[in-house]
Structures are given as structure tokens and as C-alpha cells.
A and B are shown apart, each in its own frame.
Chain A
Amino acid sequence: MIWWILVLVASVISYPFAVKYLAIQLPYARMIVISNFTLNLLLILLAVGALSPLITKKLFPKAPKWLFIPVACVLAVVCVYILKFLGMRTRI
């Protein structure tokens, strides 16, 4: 029940901010930081880090544990090329 109360309180507190964010007529006028270090890049790194031991175990069941490092590198490079193919560009 404690979670329900906390979420309810959070909903009440966030309501005016959310309405201000949603009820707009022009594009959002806030200056945003742009950088090549994107959230997407971080998510990809996390996904590669989480998936590479599992993939290594599946592909090379008898291989030593450190083999996940080159598998992670290959996976990361493949991800970058897929994103480039999909048209994603870097920004500065």
C-alpha cells in the first residue's frame, strides 16, 4: 500500500509540471545541450555489456570466460554499423 500512496503523491506533485510540458502551442523553447555522448550510446554500451556474456556462453560453451571481451567488441561494432545504416548521425 505504501507504493500506492507514494505514486499518488508523486502524481499530484508532478501534475502541474506535466500539464505545463504538454499544453504547448509552439515547439518547446528550452535550450538543450547537444553532444556526441548520447543516451542511446550509453544504452547500447549497457546492452552490449549485459548480452555479450550470454552470447559467448551460447556460441562458445567451452570457451574461457574472458572471451566475452572480444565478443562485446564485435557486438558494439555491429551495433554502430547498424545505427549508421539506419541513418543516425553524430552531433557536436
Chain B
Amino acid sequence: MLFAFVDNNHTNVKEEEMRKYLPWTVLVLSFAFFAILATRTFSWWFVPDSGDWLASAHMWLVPQPVGYPLYVLLGHFLNALPGDLVLKLVLVLSCLSSAITVALTYLISLRLTGKKLIATACAILLTGSAVFLTQSTIIEQYALLTCLLTTALWFFILDKKYLVAIFLGLAISVHVFALIIALLWFVSLIREWRQWWKPAILTAIIIVVFYSFVLLLMYLPTPRLLAGGLNIASIKMYLFGISGGIVGTMSIFEAPHRFLMIGAVLLTSFSVALIPAVKALRPLDRIKILLLCNILFILWYVLTCIDPITWHYLIILSPSVVILAALGLAGLSKKYVYVVLSVGIILLSLNSYYLNANRLTNQDPMASSYYDELMSLPNNSIVVTEPGQYSLGLFYAMSNGKQLIPLIYPYIDTWKFVDYSAWLASTYDIKVGDSTISTIQDNLGKENIYYVGLPDTLDKLQPHLALSGVGLITQIEGVR
């Protein structure tokens, strides 16, 4: 349906047939490529949040801020279908989404340049691009987000304003980042506000409908693991509790290292294609301004966020860079296209080995080993850990029916996680104190209590604990 809008100007029937089937060929081949490289089991490679998505797809739970409602709903839908949940989430929401993105990038490049060779080179470049590849082969929402944004761009080029609005709304419902991108798009189109104000309202309606679902989950008695109940304090904590300390707070002294690493990542993703991409910026037009909005916002976030693994957001700008490269290559001689094509093939080959999620997960299956260890603990054990991949993996085990009691540090102590203490006390037969240490102390002897984390993490908690055993999960025998 998307590809039915391909421009058929050629009178040559064979050429027309090729133009009709080529996007589908690109889609199928890139899907097969991502599917082969995709992780098949619970994995922490590249981004360690998959426990959250698996838990949120399996049970009704407010996921990490700020909700990702469309992704969670799609996860529940896929969970209702037969088959392994990990495979379904990674193949449908990541691999297929990215394959559609590659096909759309091919179509957009073809439409804007009229040259099949350039479009093909760009499709190959995007498929093998480092960050794009990593996010297309794991359980994360960035591939779906990028797909929806690229679809919005495609419909913008076709001047289908309401479809642009719908896909922007859906993108925002997958990840709130798209809200800033959508706002930048609408601001850049401010001179055409008469044509865009109604579609903008449609986008707003879609956002309200989907994010009402997050508020509904807060209202219902869902586990208070990542969000509190429906009240102002809880919503404020949910929206700004973590982001306020992360977004834009990277120190100037860290900047040289961050610039170097992001520069290295961009070179590993696009290499020489960056040159025609930069050249294409002059002169600017409506489409290039939208592409620039995507690129500049994501670059700002990745370069100024204190979290060092925010490089994975670069997937969002990947199609935009490749499309700009296509526009730049259209003004250059064919030899440069062949250079970009060759570099794309080399990067695809190298990255398909070194950034192969399936190979890396088989080589070091830490996540699934941790999951198996959790599943082997006695029922009704208390598991003490910190927010992050360990707690999210714990929630995944709990969503699969394992009866474990999550004691997340420092929810009770310093984060004053709204409703968490009350929820713990009402849900489990344990005594909940004023702090994590007092809660452990009050329940020693009554329940098995385990501690999850490396020795040098949780440095405020771990020195107080008498631990026995070795490995990732150790038993707490006492409090010092």
C-alpha cells in the first residue's frame, strides 16, 4: 500500500515492473538480513532495557518513563499470538520496522534523485550502518520509532498532510522524543499554518488517546515497579524524576571524549557518505529542513546527555543522513556513487560480524543466564537490586509467573518512589521499613533474601550486607 505511490513516469514496461518490485525486494532482503543477525533470546547487548519491554508485553505494567504506549500495546498484541515472545518482539517490532525504513529510504532517495543506483547505494548504506543495525536486531522501540518517522517523511513528500499527522502521532506514541521532532517540523512549516493546523490537531488527538492508556495503567492496581498511582506527585516524579538529571547535564569536561566517540560512531555508520550529506544542505528546501530538524535535535541530545549509551538514539537520524547523502550524490559524478556503494557493502560486511547481536548473545548470554538463575530461586524470595537491567530482568521473570519480591534500591530510601512502599506492603507478606536496609533487617530469617549486582555497584548499600556465595546473585545472610 505504501509502495503504491511510486511514481511511474517511464513508458518502458520492464522498467515499470522493476520500479514496482524493487522496493519490495529491498524490504524482503533487508528483513532477512536483520532477522539473521537478530538476537533470539533475552539479551542485554547494545541496550540493556529489553527486560522492561518483555515484562510490559507480558503483564499490565507502566513501563519506564514516559510510557511508550503504542509499543507496549503492540507487545501485548504479539504476546497474544502463538510463538516465543522474544522472537516475536524482535522480528516484528525491530527487524520488520527497520526493513520498512530501508525500503522507504530507498523510495525517498529514488523519488528525490530519480536515480536507481543512488537509491540502491543508500539502501545498502543504511542497512549496514552501525547504529541502525544494532537497534534493528534487539528488543527496543527505536527501530519502530524511526520507521514511523520515515513513513511520516514519505507522506510529507507525497503531500498527504493527514497521513503525516497520523504517523507523527503514532511515532510520538512509541517514544516521546518524536514530540520534539514533530514540534520542530510544525514550527518549520509555520508559514503554511493554514494547511497544517487541522493535521496538527489530529496528531494531538492521537497522542492524547495513546497516553491516556499510560494514565489508565497508573490508575489501575498495576505493580508500582516503575511508576506510582495516578496522582500529581507520582506523575511529576514519573515525567521528570530521571530525565531532569540526565538530559543536557553532561559536563563540558566530558565533551571531548563524547565528541570523539560520537564522531567515531558516525564514521562507522556512514563514513564517506557524510561528505555528500553535508554538501546537500545547500541550498535548503522544505524537505531538507525537516531532515535537518531530525539530525540536529538527535545530535544535541546525544552530545549533551550525561548517559554515555545514548548513542543508540542516532538510529533516528540515520535515514535522514542517508537521504541527504543521496541528494548530495545526485550532484556528483557516478564514481562517487560507486565509492559510497562500495563503502556501504564493506560496512555491511564488517558490522554484520562485529555488531551481530545473535553471535554476541550466544558468545556471552549474561541476560538469559541471569534469567535462569532468577527462575531457579525459591519462590517468595526477596531480590534486592538497583534500577536498570537487573531490576528489569527481575520484572521479566516475575511477568512469567516467578514469585519473587522486588526490593529496588533506592526506591524506599532516597527516591521516595511514590506508592512503592505501600504497594510492597500490600502485595507481599513482608515487613516494609523506612529504608532498604531496615526492610532487609526486618525480614531476615523469615524469607530468603538475595542481592543482585556487581561488587562495585550499589556502593552505598553493599558494604552493609553480609553476603554469601559468588556470582551475579548472592544470598544476604545479615546486615553489618
Contact = CB atoms under 8 A, between A and B. Distances in A.
Given A28-B309, A39-B303, A11 B44 contact: no
A37 B255 CA distance: 11
Nearest to B267: A11
Q: Which secondary structure characterizes the binding site on chain B?
A: helix
B275 interface: yes
A27 to B, nearest CB: 6
A63 interface: no
Given A22-B46, A22-B134, A7 B252 contact: no
B339 interface: yes
Given A21-B265, A89-B245, A38 B304 contact: yes
A46 interface: no
A40 B48 contact: no
B227 to A, nearest CB: 16
A17 B250 contact: no
A81 interface: no
A23 B251 contact: no
A23 B309 CA distance: 11
B438 interface: no
B7 interface: no
B272 A11 contact: yes
A34 B255 CA distance: 11
Interface in A21-36: 21-28, 30, 32-36
Contacts of A28: 308-309
Interface string B334-373: 0010010001000000100011000010001011000000
A7 B249 contact: no
A60 interface: no
Given A14-B264, A19-B355, A87 B252 contact: no
B21 interface: no
Given A15-B350, A35-B251, A43-B304, A23 B355 contact: yes
A18 B309 contact: no
Contact of A40 (B248, B268, B336, B350): B248
Contact of A42 (B44, B252, B274, B367): B252
A59 interface: no
Interface in B265-301: 265, 267-268, 271-272, 274-275, 300
B252 A37 contact: yes
A7 B244 contact: no
Contact of B250 (A19, A22, A40): A40
Contacts of A89: 244-245, 249
B252 A38 contact: yes
Q: 5 closest pairs, A vs B, by CB? A: A87-B240, A87-B244, A14-B264, A40-B248, A35-B251
Interface of A: 3-4, 7-8, 10-11, 14-15, 17-19, 21-28, 30, 32-43, 83, 86-91
13 contacts: A8-B272, A10-B267, A15-B264, A15-B267, A15-B350, A24-B45, A25-B45, A33-B254, A38-B251, A39-B255, A39-B258, A88-B244, A89-B244
Given A27-B48, A27-B308, 19 more contacts: A4-B336, A8-B271, A15-B264, A19-B354, A21-B264, A22-B134, A22-B311, A24-B45, A25-B366, A34-B251, A35-B252, A35-B253, A38-B248, A38-B251, A39-B252, A39-B255, A40-B248, A40-B250, A88-B247
